[in-house]
Amino acid sequence: MKSYFAAAIQMNSLPDLQKNLVQAEELIDVAVRRGAELVTLPENFSFLGDEVAKMAQADAIAQESEKFLKTVAQRFQITILGGGFPVPVGNGKVYNTALLVGPNGQELARYEKVHLFDVNVPDGNTYRESETVLAGMRVPPIYPSKELGSLGLSVCYDVRFPELYRQMSQLGAEVLFVPAAFTAYTGKDHWQVLLQARAIENTCYVIAPAQTGRHNAVRQSHGHAMIIDPWGMILADAGEEVGVAIAEIRPTRLEQVRRQMPSLQHRVFV
């Protein structure tokens, strides 16, 4: 693992596939110009806002999203994470799928979101992700990159389940991805503290690209795409505007924190 710059992109995706992909490409270009070799896109980067329309276009969204990730990875010579897009499973539902693609356009890792957001939020909005999404059944994969470190995939609501990340750290994860479309209401209280907790307890870097702003009449995201170091320090925060959070990922920092706070070696209950 070498030192390198990573980017957590913050988007305001809408129910418009092509507009979202244009927005994503513009932000990827900004990230690369600022030196990013690893770029991450948020959950629902290619389509967000209307579930009926999403399901009607699921095949096209899946195909265009995967094609887009492979094309931009090759064009910009980067490793890129597409943080979540619908992939039909043949029973009227989709997997919420995160896809990691290498600079040659090859698929490196794929993860189907395990924890589905079926929640009555106190602001009056109700979310039932399981109505259209089939839960994945696999522990998130760890992709061992010699240059970028061991990369662990997750998606949004997963961040509330620490056992998932503990399994990934046991499997050798050094950098944890948490791409999200966190609701504005829950995000103001929980987003930052959950990300810091996952970083601290696993002594890992956390890279969390995010959605921000309004996506339709009822859906609003919190923003604050972040990169956090293994000590829980916030290295970059995109705030509430569309943009890019960029920070350096340093193996020496990872080694220092794990040496000074060797909590992963002190576990009693496995």
User: Which amino acids are annotated catalytic?
Assistant: 43, 113, 156
| Three-state secondary-structure class, residue 116 | coil
Q: Are 66 and 81 in contact (CB under 8 A)?
A: no
Q: Are 136 and 114 in contact (CB under 8 A)?
A: yes
Give the residue among 187, 221, 250, 235 at the shortest CA–CA distance from 10: 221
Between the alpha carbon of residue 51 and those of residues 25, 44, 86, 158, the distances in Å are 24, 11, 11, 20
25 phi and psi angles, rounded to 5 deg: -65, -40
Q: Beta 210-214 vs 4-11: how paired, if at all?
A: parallel
Give the number of C-alpha atoms closer than 13 A to the C-alpha of residue 115, restricted to the C-beta side. Answer: 18
- The secondary structure element, H or E, covering residue 185 is helix 184-202
226-228, strands of its sheet edge to edge: 142-145, 149-152, 175-177, 205-208, 226-228, 234-237
Burial class (CB in 10 A: 0-12, 13-18, 19+), 119: middle
Length, in residues, of the chain: 270
Between the alpha carbon of residue 79 and those of residues 13, 55, 113, the distances in Å are 21, 28, 20
